[in-house]
Amino acid sequence: MIIVMKPGSTKKDLEAVIKKVKELGFKAHTITGVERTVIGAVGDERGKHKLQTLETIDSVEKVIEILQSFKLASLEFKKEPTVVKVGGAVFGGDHFGVIAGPCSVESEKQMLDAAIGVKKAGAKMLRGGAFKPRTSPYAFQGLEKEGLKILAKAREETGLPFVTEVVNPEDVELVGEYADVFQIGARNCQNFSLLKRVGRFGKPALLKRGLSTTIQEFLMSAEYILSEGCTELVLCERGIRTFETSTRNTLDISAVPVIRSLSHLPIIIDPSHATGVRKYIAPLCYASMAVGADGLMIEVHPDPQNALCDGPQSLKIEDFAALMKKLKELSKFSGKKI
């Protein structure tokens, strides 16, 4: 339910309503807009009718039911686009944020070469996996804590914030100690205990769409994170499982306008995991910008041929630099600042 406060209501009025919401057993999420302040009351659906009684409070204008099954993620709750800003990287509104870096952290030299290269080319955030959710238990699993330390060193050297994946709920504290943004990978899109732990931590998060999750389910996963208090969440479309085999997954580019019509959250595209093929990355980056995405996550490696993970889809640094140049030109027409 959304509780709309009357124009001119005071902070004290707001606090009194929030107190009532909590007494009724709901969590209160407040948005203070220029024109109006609203409280999103979320909790056990079965008791929602009790919230209707708040309409009798003088400072309350009205109580409206959110019809979508996701609530805090919905446009009904928040009409203005959410803009997530982490250091110089901005996603949402009229901003287009580019995240780049290798699939996984392999060594200090590899990560620093990648970080310096992508920064020079114009990336605003670094990526790199320290905990890798590999399909095979025999594949490289990541450097774990050592990888996080290397990422922190790369941040120190370049000033770029970094996003890195957290795979297990038990590692949220450790990853949160180092990372600027938590990444929740496609395979964990519906790992609800992980979503909740990340949502509670108090740092921004990037949620990837699951291999077979519908947009509705994807937004319900986002809701898990938001319902725990996180307000800085970026969604990432990274391709879905279809019958097509010429690409690793099928990039659902329509997810961008569909999500835009349902949610205020920024949505970016990862063409690297969507295709698995280097030569398809650039055209899909252009398409992402044209369709109105809020940014990109691109795998870039200083030596893709010898990468321990996802070499065939990783761009060389010079290819990434050329791509960024083109994207900057295209951004003149997209209406978003890159």
Span near Mn ion by CB under 5 A; candidates 86-94, 143-151, 220-228, 305-313: 305-313
Q: Which of 185, 310, 323, 327 binds Mn ion (CB under 5 A)?
A: 310
Residue 155 in contact with ligand PEP, rule: CB under 6 A: no
Q: Which of 165, 223, 237, 294 binds ligand PEP (CB under 6 A)?
A: 165
CA–CA dist 48, 68 (Å, integer): 14
Residue 148 in contact with Mn ion, rule: CB under 5 A: no
Q: Which of 101, 129, 204, 276 binds ligand PEP (CB under 6 A)?
A: 129
Among residues 311, 295, 272, 321, which one has the least CA distance to residue 118?
A: 321
The minimum distance between CB 270 and ligand PEP, in angstroms, equals 6
Span near ligand PEP by CB under 6 A; candidates 47-55, 182-190, 219-227, 286-294: 182-190
Q: b/e per residue, 56-78, with b = 16+ CB within 10 A?
A: ebebbbebeebebebbbbbbbbb
Q: Mark residues 99-118: x for contact with ligand PEP by CB under 6 A, - for none.
A: ----x---------------
First-to-final CA distance of the chain: 36
CA–CA dist 295, 331 (Å, integer): 11
Residue 71 in contact with ligand PEP, rule: CB under 6 A: no
Residue closer to ligand PEP by CB (options 3, 234) is: 234
Span near ligand PEP by CB under 6 A; candidates 2-10, 18-26, 180-188, 250-258: 180-188
The minimum distance between CB 304 and ligand PEP, in angstroms, equals 15
CA–CA dist 336, 331 (Å, integer): 6
Pair 130, 105: CB distance under 8 Å = yes
Q: Which of 2, 148, 166, 186 binds ligand PEP (CB under 6 A)?
A: 186
Tokens at 146, concatenated: 């050592």
SS3 142: coil
Q: Which of 20, 155, 248, 273 binds ligand PEP (CB under 6 A)?
A: 273
Cα pseudo-dihedral 328, 329, 334, 338, rounded to 10: 10
The minimum distance between CB 127 and ligand PEP, in angstroms, equals 7
CA–CA dist 273, 313 (Å, integer): 8
**Where do runs of H (alpha helix) occur along 169-214?**
172-178, 192-201
The minimum distance between CB 273 and Mn ion, in angstroms, equals 6
Residue closer to ligand PEP by CB (options 50, 208) is: 208
Distances (CA, A) of 150 to 86, 134, 306, 334: 19, 20, 19, 35
Residue closer to ligand PEP by CB (options 81, 133) is: 133
The per-type count for the chain, helices as H runs and strands as E runs, is 10, 14
Residue 255 in contact with ligand PEP, rule: CB under 6 A: no
Give, as ranges, the residues between 188 and 227 that touch ligand PEP (CB under 6 A): 208
Residue 255 in contact with Mn ion, rule: CB under 5 A: no
Length of the chain: 338
- Identify the burial level of 211 via C-beta atoms within 10 angstroms of its C-beta, where 0-12 means exposed, 13-18 middle and 19 or more buried: middle
The minimum distance between CB 20 and Mn ion, in angstroms, equals 47
Q: Could you list the residues that contact ligand PEP (CB under 6 A)? A: 103, 129, 133, 165, 185-187, 208, 238, 270, 273
